[in-house]
Amino acid sequence: MNAATDRPLRVALLGCGVVGSEVARLITEQSADLAARIGRPMELAGIAVRRTNLERPGLDPALFTTDAEALVTREDVDLVVEVIGGIEPARGLILAALRAGASVVTANKALLAEDGTTLFAAAEQAGVDLYFEAAVAGAIPIIRPLRESLVGDEITSVMGIVNGTTNYILDKMHREGVGFDDVLAEAQSLGYAEADPTADVEGFDAAAKAAILAGLAFHSRVTAADVHREGITEISPSDIAAAEGMDCTVKALAICRLEDGPNGAQAISVRTHPAMIPNSHPLASVGGAYNAVFVESRNAGRLMFYGPGAGGSPTASAVMGDLVTVARNRVRGAAGPGESTYAQREVVPIGQVSTRYFLSLDVVDQAGVLAEIAGCFADHQVSVQTLRQEISPRADLQGARLVVVTHRADDAALSSTVSALRELPSVHEVLSVMRVEGE
272 DSSP β-pair partners: 229, 254
CA 25/CA 316 separation, integer angstroms? 10
**CATH 3.40.50.720 domain extents, the chain:** 9-138+313-332
- Each residue of 264-310: pLDDT tens digit? 889 999 999 999 999 999 999 999 999 999 999 999 999 999 999 88
Tell me if 428 sits within 8 A of 402, measured CB to CB.
no
Q: Binding site residues for NADPH, as ranges?
A: 109
Provide the pLDDT for residue 395: 58
The CATH number that domain 9-138+313-332 falls under is 3.40.50.720
Q: Kind of pairing, strands 354-364 and 427-436?
A: antiparallel
Closest C-alpha among 387, 137, 157 to residue 258: 157
- The CATH superfamily label for domain 350-436 reads ACT domain (3.30.70.260)
- Each residue of 224-267: pLDDT tens digit? 999 999 999 999 999 999 999 999 999 999 999 999 877 788 99
Q: pTM to 2 decimals? A: 0.94
Tell me if 166 sits within 8 A of 252, measured CB to CB.
yes
Provide the pLDDT for residue 4: 53
**CATH 3.30.70.260 domain extents, the chain:** 350-436
Domain 142-309 has CATH 3.30.360.10: yes
Q: Residue 36's Cα: distance from chain center in Å? A: 34
Tell me whether residue 79 is exposed, middle or buried, using C-beta atoms within 10 angstroms of its C-beta: 0 to 12, 13 to 18, 19 or more.
buried
Closest C-alpha among 220, 203, 196, 191 to residue 109: 203
Q: Binding site residues for NADP(+), as ranges?
A: 14-21
Q: Binding site residues for L-homoserine, as ranges?
A: 194
CA 45/CA 71 separation, integer angstroms? 8
Provide the pLDDT for residue 394: 62
Q: Find the distance separating the first CA and the last CA of the chain, reported in whole Å.
A: 58
User: Exactly one of 10, 172, 209, 257 is catalytic; which is it?
Assistant: 209
Provide the pLDDT for residue 397: 59
Is 251 annotated as catalytic? Answer: no
What b-and-e string marks burial along 119-139, b requiring 16 or more CB atoms within 10 Å of the CB?
Answer: bbebbeebebbbbbbbbbbbb
Provide the pLDDT for residue 24: 97
CA 42/CA 6 separation, integer angstroms? 10
**CATH 3.30.360.10 domain extents, the chain:** 142-309
Q: Binding site residues, as ranges?
A: 14-21, 109, 194
Provide the pLDDT for residue 2: 38
With a cut of 70, which residues of the chain have pLDDT below it?
Answer: 1-5, 392-398
